[in-house]
Structure 1
Amino acid sequence: MHPESPHIIREFDEAIRYLRREVIAMAGQTRLNLERAIQGLLERDLDRCKAVVADDSDVDDLQRSIDSTGMDILVRFHPVASDLRLVISSMKIAANLERVSDHAVNIAKRAKKMLKRSELSEIKLIEPVYGIADKILRDAIESYTDRNSSLGASLNERDKELDRLHKNVISTLSGLLEEGGERAEDLLHLIFVARSLERVGDLAVNIGEDSVFLGSAQDIRHDRKLAAEVVAEEGDE
């Protein structure tokens, strides 16, 4: 960027700081929504489920704010290099966070339906899936806030563990579903909850990839070798 005056520089710096704050705030609200959705399911807490559905609009508002701010920065200041990458990455990350929050809403809505009936013992299968998905999401957010390319690049390999666990849980639940019985509907709800958590992991990997682009200007999507190199390079520093 080639600022015209100290005043323009201040405005630009303020806009960049505001953009980052909005992304971090959106990330925090998204993780909270996912946490409350799972707590509502596991602890049979209807109020938490309702809060997730109600607060999803806050996430949507933050995404609109991030998109608006990002476009304003692009049009007014014509950023280049790392500043341009920050704007692009922030807007893409906001889109992925919004989708994570949508999955949290889907989980909360399914939990609300399950709470109308007695507790299903197989619900315990969901907790470890959530544990891995949330950890990947948390590290994805950290890779953005700290510009940690190595952390962002490491998420794809870690997501494979989530995929394996998800596959095992789906296999177990599908087997029980085939047996029929009065709890078939709830088993189906749990299958979709597990699938939502697996998608959260995929979206977190996307956030990590955008964070790598932000920090090192490298596009590691679909390139496992390059991702491994980014992890190794920063690990050696």
Structure 2
Amino acid sequence: MVTPQTPRVTRHFEEELEHLKRRLLVMAGAVEEQVRRVVQSLVDRDHDLAQQVLNGDDPINRLQIEIDERCFRLLALYQPVATDLRMVVSSVKINSELERVGDFAVNIAEATLRYLDQPAVKPLIDIPRMGDIAQKMLRDSLNAFVTQDVALAQEVLERDDALDRLKDQVFRELLSFMLANSRLTESALDLILTSRHLERVGDHATNIAEEAIFIVSGRDVRHHGLDGGATE
């Protein structure tokens, strides 16, 4: 049986929950900046900027640990229920999703450093577009989570298809370059890897948007869409 909380305890919980949301936004901003920097380093052929992305992973990892500890403390001290419980549990999941996005930024930085030591395959058009879409999906998914905006979360889900199409387009185009000139194979493979990593960034943003929908509705839409899943 859950003991009713006093107004003072409830106020403290709400304050801690708001602080948790702010820290998640800080985490999201740091991760989004990593994605922005790494795409920029590829476009500008900037070794130093790619190296900055590699160096920026440790602060994100430390932030992940801090946020997880905040979530566990909220669960232990306040034993939230219903929407509040979903908010805290989803925060743990979202924190993990963001950390994985940071890892993908590092993977892209490593591919970028390899790519910059090889001949350029072609002018980069679709990969920067993928970066822009992925960044906006991240930003909007976190805003949907914080503001509990189901409509915005659904928009993020729908944008994932555009990212998938661009990834497929990049693959087909780069494959044609490899077939025409074998000396470009390694460079083209690094660009293909980059496009796949950016597509995975979009997948994680989609996962965050799904958590936003779960918080508001109590429905798990990961496999069923908005018309299915669990209800309260």
Match of 1:124, as an amino acid?
Answer: I
Offset, 1:120: 3.3
Offset, 1:171: 1.1
2:48 is the alignment partner of 1:37: no
1:55-101 CA deviation, whole Å, 9 max, x = no partner?
Answer: 11111111111111111111111001221111011111111111111
Instruction: Report the counterpart of residue 3 of structure 1 in structure 2.
Output: 5
Q: Does the 8 Å CA contact 2:119/2:187 hold for their aligned counterparts?
A: no
Q: CA RMSD in A?
A: 1.8
1:40-61 CA deviation, whole Å, 9 max, x = no partner?
Answer: 0001112211111111111111
C-alpha distance 147-5 of structure 1, shift in aligned 2 (>3 A): closer
Instruction: Report the counterpart of residue 80 of structure 1 in structure 2.
Output: 81
Match of 2:142, as an amino acid?
Answer: I
Offset, 1:169: 1.1
Offset, 1:20: 1.0
Instruction: Report the counterpart of residue 181 of structure 1 in structure 2.
Output: 182
Instruction: Report the counterpart of residue 22 of structure 2 in structure 1.
Output: 21
Q: Does the 8 Å CA contact 2:164/2:199 hold for their aligned counterparts?
A: yes
Offset, 1:16: 1.2
Instruction: Report the counterpart of residue 141 of structure 2 in structure 1.
Output: 140
Q: TM-score, normalised by structure 1?
A: 0.88
Instruction: Report the counterpart of residue 123 of structure 1 in structure 2.
Output: 124
Q: Distance in 1 between matches of 2:34 and 2:157?
A: 23
1:102-126 CA deviation, whole Å, 9 max, x = no partner?
Answer: 1111111111122223443243331
Q: Distance in 1 between matches of 2:23 and 2:120?
A: 38
Instruction: Report the counterpart of residue 53 of structure 1 in structure 2.
Output: 54
Offset, 1:10: 4.3
Q: Distance in 1 between matches of 2:220 and 2:113?
A: 40
Match of 2:145, as an amino acid?
Answer: Y
Q: TM-score, normalised by structure 2?
A: 0.90
Q: Does the 8 Å CA contact 1:123/1:190 hold for their aligned counterparts?
A: no
Instruction: Report the counterpart of residue 165 of structure 2 in structure 1.
Output: 164
Offset, 1:225: 4.8
Partner SS, residue 219 of structure 1: coil
Match of 1:3, as an amino acid?
Answer: Q
**Any stretches of 5+ residues in structure 2 without a counterpart?**
none
Offset, 1:156: 2.2
Q: Distance in 2 between matches of 1:76 and 1:225?
A: 33
Task: Give me the identity figure in percent.
Answer: 35
Aligned length: 226
**Any stretches of 5+ residues in structure 1 without a counterpart?**
228-237
- What are the residue-to-residue correspondences of 1:186-201 with 2, within 5 Å? 186-201=187-202
Instruction: Report the counterpart of residue 90 of structure 1 in structure 2.
Output: 91
Indicate the larger mover: 164-173 or 184-193.
164-173
Partner SS, residue 121 of structure 1: coil
Partner SS, residue 182 of structure 2: coil
Instruction: Report the counterpart of residue 211 of structure 1 in structure 2.
Output: 212
Q: Does the 8 Å CA contact 1:153/1:220 hold for their aligned counterparts?
A: no
Q: Distance in 2 between matches of 1:170 and 1:137?
A: 23
